[in-house]
Amino acid sequence: MMDISYRSTRGRERDVTASQAILKGLACDGGLFMPDRMPKLNLTMEELAKKTYQETAYEVMKLFLTDFTEQELKECIGRAYDDKFDTEVIAPLVKADGAYYLELFHGSTIAFKDMALSILPHLMTTAAGKNHMEQEIVILTATSGDTGKAAMAGFADVPGTRIIVFYPKGGVSRVQELQMVTQKGDNTAVVSIHGNFDDAQTGVKQIFADREFGRRLAERGFVLSSANSINIGRLVPQIVYYAYAYGQLLAHGEISDGEKIHVTVPTGNFGNILAAYFAKQIGVPIDRLICASNDNRVLYDFFRNGTYDRKRDFILTISPSMDILISSNLERLVYISTGCDGEKTAALMADLAETGAYTVSKDMKERMTDFIGGFATEEEDRDAIRRVYKDTGYVMDTHTGVASAVYKKYRADSKDETKTVIASTASPYKFSRSVMEALKGTELPDDEFAIIDSLHAVSGVTIPKAVEEIRSAQVRHHRECGVGDMEAVIAGILGV
């Protein structure tokens, strides 16, 4: 098999190896790295059904990371998917309410970001060695709540790296915030910004684009990289669990070989559902990709009318990781829909930056018909959590609740009975207050941990270690800044 190389969605950087793309994170022209062609799985679905999670990871990741040796890749996978997950199968499927919930929250920070961020540090340090990089890698990340903690947990005290995380003050759950500000590791830093996630994400992108700042850092022995889902090293590991889910459905006799399934994903930055699309492209029999939005329904509107318009009120909801108006990974789908035309993609992204909106052509929209947009209001989210628990005893978090509500509406409207996997993206304990409000509908105490104990009493689900650890953990990070001060804060942390 020929090596796959990577190119920027904006056309000005090409012939980049997988390891170089992982180290860079973002292309020099501000674009995202994409493979020069889409590979295909070289095993049957029956063979896939017999694979462990780790074996599935190798079969999928070797297709995209072609400059990693078999030994390098298997070592990275072995270190990532070990006993830090509280279940041997890594990503279990739970059948409830007429769907299959793919639980992606059994890692060390109880959110789906663990699935990729457990392996990214190993991929990145291996890539650094392959490319003879002597500079210290500074991971710069914006988070809407989960990426930050998962990235810090992955990179904490990893030699040759530092990690700086920006999150929106007041825009994450209390558990999410405590997980971040109590993070140990001499190479970790957390900063709350006075703004929303889009502000943080835009600020990080601007810092990557500031060549003078990059030069200053290089002179002091630092190079910037990203752990956000814009990094291809984040996206590729996410493809794995959709392939694994299909194999497990087949192994347990829930589907027949080759039977197509739908996938429903609660969506913010578009990386998780894009990974499902990539799984389809490499040969997993996936039919529809149901993109579930909350009240910030920018993606729903886009798939309905072909116009991406971020010029709208930013709504804070009980599903904060989806409170996003600029879905960065959508650029990859836009690029595909142009026929991989970097110039066209760059022009549309320029429109978004300059006017706050862009509109795709009819031909481009027709190339996106695998996707169906749906949205659920906050009340519909609560209703889904309450109804599924009442009917089945299954407790889900507020993001999975959005996906569940959207899928229920899709099924009722379309009469489509195709078997469907719903990405369950976080433990209900990560959003215990909102989950308990949905279940009980009563006023709750201020004490977050009293609510967590109540959720345990109601659900019977063991309180995760990640939550127990922050009950009495010391707050180690206190930095705050304005959106315009992010670069100065980074310089201060690094001493440049």
Closest listed residue to residue 288, CA positions, set 260, 255, 322:
260
Rounded Cα distance between 166 and 412, Å, is 40
Rounded Cα distance between 250 and 247, Å, is 5
Question: DSSP secondary structure string, 268-302?
Answer: SSSHHHHHHHHHHHTT--EEEEEEEE-S--HHHHH
Secondary structure (3-state) at 166: strand
Catalytic residue among 24, 51, 62, 113: 113
Question: DSSP secondary structure string, 393-458?
Answer: -----HHHHHHHHHHHHHHHHH-----EEEEE-B-GGGGHHHHHHHHH-S---S-HHHHHHHHHHH
Q: b/e map of 244-269 (b: 16 or more CB within 10 Å)?
A: bbbbbbbeeeebeeeeebbbbbbbbb
Residue reference for tokens 């507020």: 398
Q: Which residues pair with 290 in a beta bridge?
A: 264, 372
Secondary structure (3-state) at 223: strand
Q: How many CB atoms lie within 10 A of CB 447?
A: 10
Secondary structure (3-state) at 312: coil
Residue 113 is a catalytic residue: yes
Q: b/e map of 282-304 (b: 16 or more CB within 10 Å)?
A: bbbebebbbbbbbbbbbbbbbbe
Cβ distance 62 to 70 under 8 Å?
yes
As given in the structure block, the two tokens for residue 382 are 């609560």
Name the amino acid, one letter, at 470. I
* DSSP character at residue 217: H
Q: Which residues are catalytic?
A: 113
